[in-house]
């Protein structure tokens, strides 16, 4: 079971589900059933996307991720394909029970994810932006399910888009050797790994600027839990970006995920508080 969790990158799915449900609550949604549908469908979309990614990128993973479930043989290719299709379709079935706007967001996200896995990854910068966009779609998804637009969530979307775009560029620098051997053209191939990682770090710093403005806006909103999470994420991204510029790419890659998690946990806690009070 652990290998299947690794196949779908379960920790990413959990973060996606948390942020989607929290966005729904912050945007004014109050239905427990809808919250469950939003969270589970978001998790399944992420699971399908990552399982499909491993299937579509098996050649690159033989070099970049030799311990990946498919490469190591702990999960068969057929099983991985079945997990990808089942996850995508199950999520679609649940999303169809939400608003048509939420269903449209799900279909768009799943389609973009499939395109990225099959072709988009091989388009420098465009593929990286698609991943960042998909990661940030959790905020529009929650708002669409609630049928409302929230200014704070819109700012979170912008900050997330910049930070994740930067993180994706840093990942191309880390995967440079494997992608070069596999003949995959990435941002690191175009710019060189050092420049790609540097650009990624500066995008993360730009995200921190948005985070700082959001913190200022939240200070007068009464949403102090979310304020604390955003402020912590902003501070961590600044430190991690500086370390990334100094060449510590893997630390940035791992630490940025934890930094994002600080805001997502705070977002969920704030959503629960808003829903209760």
- Asked whether the predicted pLDDT for residue 211 surpasses 90, the reply is yes
Q: What is the pLDDT of residue 63?
A: 74
User: What CA–CA distance (Å, rounded) separates 87 from 174?
Assistant: 29
Cα distance between the two ends of the chain: 39
User: What CA–CA distance (Å, rounded) separates 11 from 258?
Assistant: 11
Q: What is the pLDDT of residue 101?
A: 97
Rounded mean pLDDT, 202-212: 97
User: What CA–CA distance (Å, rounded) separates 193 from 174?
Assistant: 8
- For residue 93, give both structure tokens: 């079935």
Q: What is the pLDDT of residue 67?
A: 85
What domain count does the chain have?
1
Q: What is the pLDDT of residue 165?
A: 97
- Asked whether the predicted pLDDT for residue 35 surpasses 90, the reply is yes
Could you give the C-alpha distances from 131 to 30, 58, 207, in angstroms and in order? 29, 18, 16
Mean of all residue pLDDT scores within the chain: 93
Rounded mean pLDDT, 236-255: 96
Q: What is the pLDDT of residue 272?
A: 87
- Asked whether the predicted pLDDT for residue 59 surpasses 80, the reply is no
Burial profile 99-125: b = 16 or more Cβ within 10 angstroms, e = fewer: eeebbebbeebbebbbebbeebbbbbb
- Asked whether the predicted pLDDT for residue 241 surpasses 90, the reply is yes
Q: What is the pLDDT of residue 253?
A: 94
Q: What is the pLDDT of residue 144?
A: 98
Q: What is the pLDDT of residue 36?
A: 97
Q: What is the pLDDT of residue 166?
A: 97
The residue range of the domain holding 269 is 2-276
Q: What is the pLDDT of residue 185?
A: 85
Rounded mean pLDDT, 15-26: 92
CA 131 to chain centre: 7
CA dihedral 114, 25, 95, 54 (to 10 degrees): 30
SS (H, E, C) 204-271: HHHHHHHHHHHHHHHCCCCCHHHHHHHHHHHHHHHHHHHHHHCCCHHHHHHHHHHHHHHHHHHHHHHH
Q: Which residues contact 111 (CB under 8 A, 6 or more apart)?
A: none
Q: pLDDT over 90 for what percent of the chain?
A: 76
Using alpha carbons, select from 134, 146, 163, 151 the residue that is nearest to residue 240: 163
| Residue, of 201 and 64, whose pLDDT is higher | 201
Looking up residue 197, the CATH number of its domain turns out to be: 1.10.357.140
* Res. 153 pLDDT band, cuts 50 70 90: very high
Rounded mean pLDDT, 87-101: 97
CB-based burial label for 258 (10 Å; 0-12, 13-18, 19+): exposed
């Amino acid at each position: 079971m652990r290998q299947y969790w690794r196949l779908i990158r379960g920790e990413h799915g959990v973060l996606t589900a948390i942020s989607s449900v929290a966005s729904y609550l912050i945007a004014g949604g109050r239905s427990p059933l809808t919250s469950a549908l939003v969270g589970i469908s978001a998790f399944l979309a992420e699971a399908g996307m990552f399982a499909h990614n491993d299937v579509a990128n098996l050649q690159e993973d033989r070099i970049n991720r030799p311990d990946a479930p498919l490469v190591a043989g702990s999960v068969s290719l057929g099983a991985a394909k079945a997990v990808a299709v089942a996850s995508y379709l199950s999520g679609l079935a649940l999303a169809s029970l939400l608003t048509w706007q939420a269903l449209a967001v799900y279909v768009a996200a799943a389609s973009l994810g499939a395109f990225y896995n099959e072709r988009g990854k091989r388009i420098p910068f465009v593929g990286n932006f698609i991943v960042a966009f998909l990661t940030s779609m959790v905020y529009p998804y929650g708002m669409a399910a609630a049928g409302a637009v929230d200014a704070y969530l819109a700012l979170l979307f912008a900050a997330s888009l910049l930070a994740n775009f930067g993180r994706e560029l840093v990942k191309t620098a880390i995967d440079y050797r494997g992608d070069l051997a596999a003949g995959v053209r990435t941002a690191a191939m175009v710019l060189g790994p050092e420049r790609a990682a540097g650009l990624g770090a500066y995008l993360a710093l730009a995200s921190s600027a948005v985070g700082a403005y959001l913190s200022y806006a939240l200070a007068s909103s009464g949403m102090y839990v979310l304020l604390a999470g955003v402020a912590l994420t902003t501070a961590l991204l600044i430190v991690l970006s500086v370390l990334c510029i100094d060449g510590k790419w893997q630390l940035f890659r791992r630490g940025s995920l934890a930094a994002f998690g600080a805001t997502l946990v705070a977002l969920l806690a704030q959503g629960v508080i808003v829903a209760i009070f």
